[in-house]
Amino acid sequence: MLLILIRKEFMLELRRKAVISGIGLYMFSLIFICYLTFSLRQNSINEATWSALFWLAILFSVVNSVAKSFIGEKRGIAIYYYTLASPHVVILSKILYNALLCLVLSLTGYGLFALFIDNPVQDTLYFLLTLVLTSLGFSSALTLISGIAAKANNSHILMAVLSFPVVIAILLMAIRLTKNVLDGIDRGASLDELLNLLAINCILTALAYLLFPYIWRS
Amino acid sequence: MKNWVKILGICLLLYVHTAGLLAEVPRLNILNETIRALYFHVPMWFGMTFLFTMSVYYAILYLRNPSPELDRKVLEYANVGTVFGVLGILTGMLWANYTWGSPWHGDPKQNGAAIALLVYLAYFVLRGSLDNQEQRARLSAVYNIFAFAAMVPLIFVIPRMTSSMHPGSGGNPGFNVYELDYRMRMVFYPAVAGWILIGLWITNVRIRLKNVEEAIIELEDEK
């Protein structure tokens, strides 16, 4: 069932090409604005600014793309799923699918940053590991919140307002890891942050799994 | 709620205010007399954490067994907790202005506290944008639990991983087993207990008020 639902998400995504290209263009514009406003080819930026810009670009595009997982859906569709699958399977499939989406977005963002601005990353493997962990964390936090926001009136504003305080913990850890990775510090030094990130992910995913049935019912 | 709660709370706070302003305190560099902020600033955070925890507790009870009374409790505990949080930030800023030189110093603990308040402000916005009463209660209870869990690492873990100028961390004197001498404990512990009791009492009065208002509305509807 889980695999079928994930496949369904993929099919839907590929069928609505406007949405996915919209997200891609959104991210491209964000990064291009960063590049233009800092006029980065002439004057280079230091590592702290690079990581701040990078995570801001990722955060905004991820919030906007995960928001659509419940907000864009038509009213009747939820009832249709309800007859087919249990809420636990639905939320798990959405979280896994969104985690993949976030990972693809982060990788694209990294590529664009390397192309336009600079690639100061010294320890690529650890940086990729950070991207995987943050994608999972973002996806489980944002998927649940998108489920909540979808029921309310002004969903898009609400999505941003509700999600920022929740993802700040992940973001802080990610920025700290990025700093270590950019400075090329010994890997043992960032182990604490990695474990912390993993723990936050576990808490958020478990809670999303437990709480989703309650939002589902309305 | 029993009467003794408010009487005990008021007595404790009377004692804390007199002793806190007049009793002997250790002489420490930089801190000087501002060390007395310990009696008024730190209990705010204990109170806030306690009230928010109660709010989450009732939110869990609500999800297991929905009823409008429980929802009112969740909301009022969050309301009063937010007031405690705002007071905590304000007293902290007042203290920081004299000790650190500026009210907002970008300290990890200050930032954590501000984010904790953001969570509950977002919670109130969420409640405001849902029309159906039952749906509002259920969705906001879910967000309350989720956001509280996301806040825990932010307030209790990350500030302990970073160096901070806040007393009690990074080798600064302050709330610490070795530094807080017994004279201060004699005021500090009653202060924590007193503020928590007063917080409980205020919440209780507000819940009772809301229940009465609800009952009046129902009576008017019947007419």
Q: What is the DSSP string of A144-178?
A: HHHHHHHTSSSHHHHHHHHHHHHHHHHHHHHHHHH
* Residue B215 touches partner A, C-beta closer than 8 Å: no
Over residues B158-175, the pLDDT tens digits come to 766 666 666 655 444 455
Write the residue in A141, A153, A158 that is nearest to B150 by C-beta: A141
In the predicted model, what is the mean pLDDT of residues A123-144? 91
The position carrying tokens 């919670």 is: B123
Mean local confidence (pLDDT), B37-42: 82
Mutate to test the interface with A, among B139, B140, B155 (most CBs of A within 10 A): B139
Largest CA distance in chain A: 59
Contact A167, A145 (CB under 8 A): no
- Angstroms from A16 CA to nearest CA on chain B: 30
The three-state secondary structure class of A72 is coil
Query: Exposed/middle/buried for B156, CB within 10 Å: 0-12, 13-18, 19+?
Result: exposed
Task: Assess whether pLDDT exceeds 60 at residue A3.
Answer: yes
Of B129, B139, B147, the CB nearest to A165: B147
A205 band by pLDDT with thresholds 50, 70 and 90: very high
Q: Which residue of A has its CA nearest to B136?
A: A152
Asked if A158 and B125 come within 8 Å (Cβ–Cβ), the reply is yes
A-chain residue closest to B142, CA distance:
A211
Q: How far apart are CA A54 and CA A152, in angstroms?
A: 31
Residue B193 has pLDDT above 80, yes or no: yes
Distance in angstroms (rounded) separating the CA atoms of residues A70 and A139? 13
pLDDT exceeds 90 at position B183: no
CA distance A109 to B177: 48
Residue A142 at interface with chain B, using a CB cutoff of 8 Å: no
Beta-carbon pairs below 8 A across chains A and B: 91
Residue B88's identity, in one-letter code, is G
Q: Is B201 within 8 Å of B9 (Cβ atoms)?
A: yes
Asked if the C-beta of B66 comes within 8 angstroms of chain A's C-beta atoms, the answer is no
pLDDT in tens, B72-98: 999 999 999 999 999 988 988 888 888
| B4 compared with A111, residue with greater pLDDT | A111
Give the range of the structural domain holding residue A48, as residue numbers without chain letter: 2-216
> What is the tally of structural domains in chain B?
1
Using CB atoms, pick whichever of A153, A173, A204 lies closest to residue B150. A204
* Placement of tokens 């902020």 in the chain: B37
For the cut 60, the answer to whether the pLDDT of residue B127 exceeds it is yes
**Is the CB of A189 inside 8 Å of chain B's CB atoms?**
no
The one-letter amino acid code at A114 reads: A
Tell me how crowded residue A97 is: count the other CB atoms within 10 A of its CB. Answer: 22
Closest CA to A154 of A71, A98, A49: A71
CB A61 within 8 A of CB A105: yes
- Verify whether the Cβ–Cβ distance A200 to B145 is below 8 Å: no
Q: Does A162 touch chain B (CB under 8 A)?
A: yes
Q: Who among B122, B142, B151 is closest to A215 (CB)? A: B142
CATH code at position B27: 1.20.120
Q: How confident is the model at residue A104 (pLDDT cuts 50, 70, 90)?
A: very high
3-state secondary structure of B176: coil
Question: Pick from B12, B58, B11: which is nearest to B204 by CA?
Answer: B58
pLDDT confidence tier of residue B117, bands split at 50, 70 and 90: confident
Percent of chain A at pLDDT exceeding 70: 97
Q: Is B65's pLDDT higher than 70?
A: yes
Query: Cβ atoms within 10 A of the Cβ of B102, count?
Result: 9
C-alpha A205: how far from its chain's center?
13
Q: A158 touching B, CB under 8 A?
A: yes
pLDDT digit string, tens, across residues A141-199: 999 999 888 888 778 888 888 998 888 888 988 988 888 888 877 777 778 888 888 99
B23 pLDDT band, cuts 50/70/90, is: confident
Q: Quick check: B123 pLDDT over 80?
A: yes
- Residue A111 above 80 pLDDT? yes
pLDDT reported for residue B201: 92
Q: B101: domain range?
A: 3-222
B62 phi, psi to nearest 5 deg: -60, -45
Cβ of residue A169 closer than 8 Å to a chain B Cβ: yes
Q: Is the pLDDT of residue A114 over 90?
A: no
Quickly tell me which residue has 């263009």 as its tokens. A25
Q: Which of A63, A151, A195 to mutate to test the interface with B (most CBs of B within 10 A)?
A: A151
Contact B6, B170 (CB under 8 A): no
Q: What is the pLDDT of residue A12?
A: 81
Chain B residues with beta carbon closer than 8 angstroms to that of A164? 118, 122
Is B157 touching A (CB cutoff 8 A)? yes
Q: How many domains does chain A have?
A: 1
Higher pLDDT, A81 or B131: B131
In this prediction, residue B178 carries a pLDDT of 47
- How does the average pLDDT of chain B come out, rounded? 82
The model's pLDDT over A8-48, given as tens digits with 9 standing for 90+, comes to 888 888 888 888 888 889 999 998 888 888 766 666 778 88
User: How far apart are the C-alpha atoms of A44 and A50, rounded to whole Å?
Assistant: 10
Alpha-carbon distance B124 to nearest alpha carbon in chain A (angstroms): 10
Tell me whether B139 touches chain A (CB under 8 Å).
Answer: yes
